[in-house]
Structure 1
């Protein structure tokens, strides 16, 4: 952002773009410290090459300089050539300066695949309450990595992933059962609230169930946000093949090179050749992801959300997917409005100009990220504030919330009785 005293205009009153000052991208950089020779210098050179800038210091943050998930992939490829070391792309999101990434490379091996752990630290540093991002049906939370550049740097960000990736024997009877496991996971990182939850697709249903459990335990949930999360009552379409599923979540365009029904080994090899985030997935990982995807979809259809005493829901809906439904595409739930019966408070819907599958793409997150960050900052100003349930004669919003709470209590009592 460049501050000017006034906007220059042409004689006819339009903005004179040629007279605008050139943005100073150097202003966001830390005080320059030359990178040390060796790996640190190689990382700095890879950052500079990917970002198209002349110089990167040892303490310069890759994302503050304009990096994103696509350019991070280019950095990993460049480092593979220059230092002949496999650098997982997700390392760049957690170690985003040449100094910290060089230290990670020197102290870890590429075989240390912590990218499939239940808690994925997209940014582990910061002194504010973390943002926890719940995976979509595919079970991986890598898609949230692009949020790092939009959420304030003093807020940690964790992705929550399927436990089956690290423990093939794990089993959950229901979506509520899975949500209970995830609540235990986030409390191992943050023992007390307020909590901030974001879910994508089916992850939104899981996040809602997590919020309900936290509230029943007396914890404060300051943020519940969903990215195109619909309530599913049935699944008309057949389950996708493993090839089609990989094409969707890994953005693989070369499916024609595979057989109609490829093996997990063949798909894993294709991902390895493609490089990037998903090149570290093994055939066993892919098999687990596919089985978990099918089970999670079934659990989501069978799931009945609890009534959640929460102030607001932040909802990001896909404009293009809604347009497809109106134009004869598959019928389904309409998204944000589905949740009005399960939330005490307001639903703030933001329409994102992309498809459901591309919500976490760079263009999608470029819209979602700043809105989410502003929301997190605003709720931080009133964290811990509760509505006065006895003051039903107050403003209309409190009165409405009191009525809904009473109605929810009656519904829950009737459900337990039946």
Structure 2
């Protein structure tokens, strides 16, 4: 089941040709807590994988789990995957904020940023202890397994998430409570653990409080940040951390012992060892315990608490955001403009002095949507004032300063289209979207508009032009523009300049290129003024990866070395499930899916509805539906989107007709953890059969679109930075 009709329609289209093989599959458009029509005990297994973080509250999750348990037969199980850990929430936000912070940022400001990020967390984050407490509330749950995520790579998924298996209806496994050893008290390490298993040959042994190597850096960071020594800046903290040694055991090293020794290995969350620890149980294969399926016995270590204590409350945060917006609008109708607050802060209670008065010194700093490391600068000229009004309207923000960065305020490509359209109406100048890379502030745009402006839309765009290392060239996805690389560029190592290569035709004055080979050839010529010789560094997200691959092919044929070929969640056309004929309705439907993914809101448009319309009406239908569903601004005109549509259409056709050849070099492949249903399953996304050199593969938590946005993009750039540092 799924609440999205678009997703269900797509699945239905895929299984229809398979006929009898999937005749037992039924699809239902329902919310997660709607189990009407599903009989009790109907299923052997229910899977909720990487979805509960999007639930509005812990109470909603409980209702879903109750319904799921009721639908399971005796001996069935409920798998809840990719659960975000509440005990590690502060650690997660501390690590991400620290990674993004400049050396000059003060420690107090970093602490405030972390506190704000935890408070404003928009996803449901759950304490593992909740699932143990759940047995008291849902007695049908007999056994609980809480497992770390497997994988020898380190990212947000393996560090900060866990899986849960709830066994329902009867004791499906024997449980065992082993004799426990304490990792620190016994002075253990990996070698000592192996020696115990080899020499003493225990039937069952458990080891508590094993330091998790995946998290030692992050846990040390939190400890240092909590230490109120006289540290003033992040730069000072970084120097201290560089001197620290991180000692821990990689969970996969313990799991791998099953291949060396006659033991099964169970690794689970540690309820008593702190956030950077886990527990492990070893069961000898020849033991009495091994004669039947055995799982570790997990018991709640503390009294059962109120449900609200086991999770954050994203629904409340959403309500607070609406309240702030409504209150701001209300105040504008009642107060002079100069008296309208520039920021509103929601507090549980007002801090008071011992005399019962408001303690102004204890009030937190404003946590408005605009968080600045610089002072607010008001408009000083007529052009700046006009641009400020446009930005405020387009970005739905108040008090935009002339030195605020468009991308840091949440600007994206649709905002940029609307922004440039409004600028054209106001100033009669048609600026390319990529202008925002060179002039991302009102101050810079005003200076540009006051001078002689080049309105041509170049192929090569300077995203970040400073740095001493070889430049990184990022190739556009199917949409044609390179605004999608803005956040990636901000988090990449500072010494690397970043340039984007965007499609011809975005300005509506040139015809788009129609083949991947032609695009690759043009882009190779475009980068020569910046880097006339190799070795070159190429990066491509989505279709950009396909073009980057062809560029590498053509460069190798010319004996120009390629030092880096990075494909970000890019699929070889050979693994795409393509129909025998691609019509315009399919392309319009794909554009709807692309827009929905980019802006986090599904654009519900039926492929069958589109096929019944004439070609010009298909695009118009998409446009009108986008406006109705809030993806397109209500005042945007279809002509503003026409060139984007023409580029998208040309790129889609070029990608579908491309036939990649074998590549003799190496490849860095960074994939999203959530794969597309439109492709054949392949961990290398189809490149494994084409690339003759080494393929390094990394997985980032998120889907095709979210990995390019904060916070997931930070994991992506961490992998890329690490590769660049060690290559």
Tell me if 1:297 matches 2:656. Answer: yes
CA RMSD of aligned residues (A): 5.0
Correspondent of 2:444 among 72, 97, 100:
100
Instruction: Give the drift of 1:350.
Output: 1.2
Relative to its length, the structure with more strand (as a share) is: 2
Larger Rg computed on CA atoms: 2
Distance 1:233 1:27 in 2: 43
Distance 2:407 2:521 in 1: 34
Tell me if 1:239 matches 2:579. Answer: no
Q: Which has the higher contact order (CA 8 A, sep 6+)?
A: 1
Correspondent of 2:612 among 249, 260, 264:
260
Distance 1:363 1:130 in 2: 22
* Alpha-carbon contact 2:592-2:622 (below 8 Å) kept: no
Residue in structure 2 matched with residue 404 of structure 1 by the alignment: none
Q: 1:306 to 1:320 in 2, by over 3 A?
A: closer
* Alpha-carbon contact 1:232-1:332 (below 8 Å) kept: no
Tell me if 1:41 matches 2:394. Answer: no
Distance 1:349 1:202 in 2: 18
Residue in structure 1 matched with residue 52 of structure 2 by the alignment: none
Tell me if 1:334 matches 2:554. Answer: no
* Alpha-carbon contact 1:318-1:352 (below 8 Å) kept: yes
* Alpha-carbon contact 2:505-2:511 (below 8 Å) kept: yes
Partner secondary structure for residue 370 of structure 1 = helix
Correspondent of 2:465 among 125, 146, 161:
125
Distance 1:371 1:97 in 2: 27
Pairwise mapping of residues 176-325 of structure 1 onto structure 2 (< 5 A)? 176=517, 178-215=519-556, 217-232=559-574, 236-237=578-579, 238-241=581-584, 242-251=587-596, 253=603, 260-264=612-616, 267=619, 274=632, 280-282=640-642, 286-287=645-646, 289-299=648-658, 302-308=659-665, 310=666, 312-317=667-672, 319-321=674-676, 324=677
* Alpha-carbon contact 1:223-1:376 (below 8 Å) kept: no
**TM-score normalised over the length of structure 1:** 0.64
Instruction: Give the drift of 1:134.
Output: 2.2
Residue in structure 2 matched with residue 6 of structure 1 by the alignment: 226
Residue in structure 1 matched with residue 694 of structure 2 by the alignment: 345
Instruction: Give the drift of 1:206.
Output: 2.3
Instruction: Give the drift of 1:332.
Output: 2.0
Q: Please list every run of 5 or more consecutive structure 2 residues that lacks an aligned counterpart in the other structure.
A: 1-96, 98-109, 112-221, 229-273, 275-302, 304-308, 313-347, 349-361, 597-601
**Alignment: residue pair count:** 359
Distance 1:374 1:186 in 2: 25
Instruction: Give the drift of 1:319.
Output: 0.9
Partner secondary structure for residue 159 of structure 1 = strand
Distance 2:670 2:501 in 1: 19
* Alpha-carbon contact 2:670-2:716 (below 8 Å) kept: no
Instruction: Give the drift of 1:161.
Output: 3.5
Relative to its length, the structure with more helix (as a share) is: 1
Instruction: Give the drift of 1:370.
Output: 1.7
Distance 1:57 1:183 in 2: 39
Residue in structure 2 matched with residue 377 of structure 1 by the alignment: 721
Distance 2:448 2:417 in 1: 17
**TM-score normalised over the length of structure 2:** 0.40
* Alpha-carbon contact 2:542-2:569 (below 8 Å) kept: yes
Q: 1:244 to 1:35 in 2, by over 3 A?
A: same
Partner secondary structure for residue 103 of structure 1 = helix
Instruction: Give the drift of 1:61.
Output: 2.4
* Alpha-carbon contact 2:545-2:568 (below 8 Å) kept: yes
* Alpha-carbon contact 1:258-1:266 (below 8 Å) kept: yes
Greater shift, 21-30 or 194-203, is seen at 21-30
Distance 1:260 1:108 in 2: 48
* Alpha-carbon contact 1:29-1:65 (below 8 Å) kept: no
Greater shift, 312-321 or 138-147, is seen at 138-147
Tell me if 1:59 matches 2:403. Answer: yes
